[in-house]
Amino acid sequence: MNLKQLEYFVRVAELGSFSKASIVLDIAQPALSRQVRLLETDLRAQLLQRTGRGVILTEAGKRLFSHSVGILQLVSQAREDVESGRDEPSGKVVIGLTPSMGRLVTLPLVEGFREDLPKARLTIVEGLSTHITEWIATGRVDIGVLLNPEPSAAIELHPLLDEPLCLVSPAAAPASGRASRQASRLRVDAAMPFAELADYPLIIPDRAHVIRKLVEAQAALSGFKLQIAWEVSGVPSILDLVRFGHGHAVLSQGAVIATGQSQAFRVRPLVKPHLVSKMCLAASAHKPMTPLMRHVMRMLGGLLLLRASGRDHTKS
């Protein structure tokens, strides 16, 4: 028995599949299967039972899994303790961002990373919150920014802020609220009851998007159906269509500001009920935090909160 075999066994057990584990571990599936078989031979016990859908733990496998997770965590903590004595964190960290968050923080994040963490490596991947959640669970991503995440035993959530959802319209549309103080800033009109959303043709993401789920669920509770003009997955593309007058959108102010063209839009916060998009930082619940990950979590959280506080100054 060795640590590498325990790591392979734990990852196969977590993912329930040799094929998925081989991708995450970057090892050929036959080699991965051979290492697990060697572990079973050494312990003289069957640890995994193969099914049509993948693998499940046997009783012996469940007992070893519990021990293995603890052993691997102790080894990781020992490594962290040694690394924490170095002058600065090192290694590699992979961050998952939604496209709107990517536009907002990628540049300052890379610049801050270069300045504060010259010995570390950064990778940024973009996707919907549902994709980022899966990537964290499978080990592809270390830290993610999630919007309205669903609870998961595999993910540890760190709530960061709540962003009110708004009706986003082109700035050229007739104003129904107070005028903006400066034409270059995002115009925020008077709040609008959610029920009035039924009167607006919407450009909205597909059903996998968390905001689509949230808005449709509330519309059903309010007794009306959304008037969907266009269904477009990407938030930047949605806002391009809004800007050119093809409909309206339901998004946060942060998504609008991330375009860098706030002056092209006006927003009306939705109330009665007051809908919010919850932003969280997320990491694996089963993977210990390294010094680098802790440093990046603080850096990323600070950048997101800074942008949020900066949005208050854009209001008219």
Cα separation of the two ends of the chain: 65
Cβ-proximal residues to 53 (8 Å cutoff; 6+ apart), any chain: 16
Are 205 and 231 spatial neighbours (Cβ–Cβ below 8 Å)? Answer: yes
Give the whole-angstrom CA distance, residue 2 versus residue 75.
12
- Mean pLDDT of the residues in the chain: 84
Residues of the chain with CATH 3.40.190.10: 91-160+278-314
Q: For 174-222, what is each residue's pLDDT tens digit?
A: 444 444 444 457 788 889 999 999 999 999 988 777 788 889 889 998 8
Indicate whether 172 pLDDT > 90. Answer: no
The mean per-residue pLDDT over the stretch 278-283 comes to 90
- Closest Cα partner for 123 from 137, 110, 139? 110
User: 99-116 vs 291-311: helix axis angle to the nearest 10?
Assistant: 120
For 217-286, the DSSP string reads HHHHHHT----EEEE-S-HHHHHHHHHTTS-BEEEEHHHHHTTT-GGGEEEEEEETTT-EEEEEEEEESS
- Closest Cα partner for 294 from 74, 120, 72, 75? 120
CATH 3.40.190.10 is held by the domain 162-276? no
Question: Among 84-88, 150-154, 173-177, 206-210, which stretch is predicted with the lowest mean pLDDT?
Answer: 173-177
Vertex 293: Cα angle to 288 and 297 (nearest 5):
120
Q: For 220-249, what is each residue's pLDDT tens digit?
A: 988 998 989 999 877 888 989 999 999 999
Q: Can you give the C-alpha Rg of the chain in angstroms?
A: 23
- How many alpha carbons fall within 13 Å on the CB side of residue 238? 30
Cβ-proximal residues to 313 (8 Å cutoff; 6+ apart), any chain: none
Residues of the chain with CATH 1.10.10.10: 3-83
Extract the tokens encoding 129.
Answer: 């919150």
Give the whole-angstrom CA distance, residue 30 versus residue 82.
34
Residues of the chain with CATH 3.40.190.290: 162-276
Helices assigned H by DSSP within 84-138: 99-116, 129-138
CATH 3.40.190.10 is held by the domain 91-160+278-314? yes
Say which CATH architecture domain 3-83 belongs to.
Answer: Orthogonal Bundle (1.10)
Q: Quote the pLDDT of residue 249.
A: 93
Give the largest CA-CA distance in the chain. Answer: 76
